[in-house]
Amino acid sequence: MDISEKAARCLDILEKEFPNVQIALVHKNPFELLIATMLSAQATDKLVNKVTETLFKKYKTPRDFAAAGLPEIEAAISRVNFFRNKAKSIKACSARIMDEFHGKVPDRLEGLTSLAGVGRKTANIILGNAFGKQALAVDTHVKRVAQRLGLTAAEDPDEIEGDLCAIIPQRRWTKTTRLFIQHGRKTCTARNPACDECPVNAYCDYYKKIRSPIETFEDMLKEKKQ
């Protein structure tokens, strides 16, 4: 089995495991998703959703954020980590959207990454979930799952993205991000991953190194049926 087939089989299994997986950040439009994603760095989606529920009632557009005083924005997002730096980025990002993009979030990678506080990961999240384009975003969950499965040996997120895009069909890039994130949160956690219950452990390099007497989840199911 080559690595592309391995990736395909893992994705097929994870799609059955998480058939309706969507991005967890609550948003109504590309701009709200952009701000929420910027806030989510080193913060839980649950906390970000609580913050943006109030935030987006007060500041609805890039113009609103650009016009707001920095202390006001800081106060509105003070519950998230690094809120001062994030407030600066949000204000600068919003100003650039107004000045350079006529008040609309750009729908191309180059335009998105030209915004303050927006790297390739954030840009790909916006492209895939706000604009319906195929984009593979590498966060800590995607990195961990891809490395443990043996789909990449790289450490740099951009290199991991390149490795995954080379073996996964473009039509599956956005879904891959969602599936790997969900799998990383539920099963393939950073600490104490639930390897014996993992539906893709038969294909996992990490599991082969620490495997238990019960060889795979699939074997366990076969034993139950016999």
Q: How confident is the model at residue 119 (pLDDT cuts 50, 70, 90)?
A: very high
What pLDDT digit, counting tens, does each position of 175-186 carry? 999 999 999 999
Q: Catalytic positions, please?
A: 121, 139
pLDDT value at 219 more than 80? no
Measure the CA dihedral 191/196/198/200, to 10°: 120
Summarize the confidence of residues 30-57 as an average pLDDT: 97
156-162: Cβ within 8 A, 24+ apart:
157/120, 157/121, 158/120, 161/120, 161/124, 161/136, 161/137
Domain range 3-20+137-219, CATH architecture: Orthogonal Bundle (1.10)
Q: Which amino acid is at 25?
A: L
Ordered by start, the domain boundaries in the chain are 3-20+137-219, 30-129
What pLDDT digit, counting tens, does each position of 132-144 carry? 999 999 999 999 9
CATH code of the domain made up of 30-129: 1.10.340.30
Question: What pLDDT score does 210 carry?
Answer: 81
Q: How confident is the model at residue 167 (pLDDT cuts 50, 70, 90)?
A: very high
Residues in the chain: 226
Q: Does pTM top 0.75 for this prediction?
A: yes
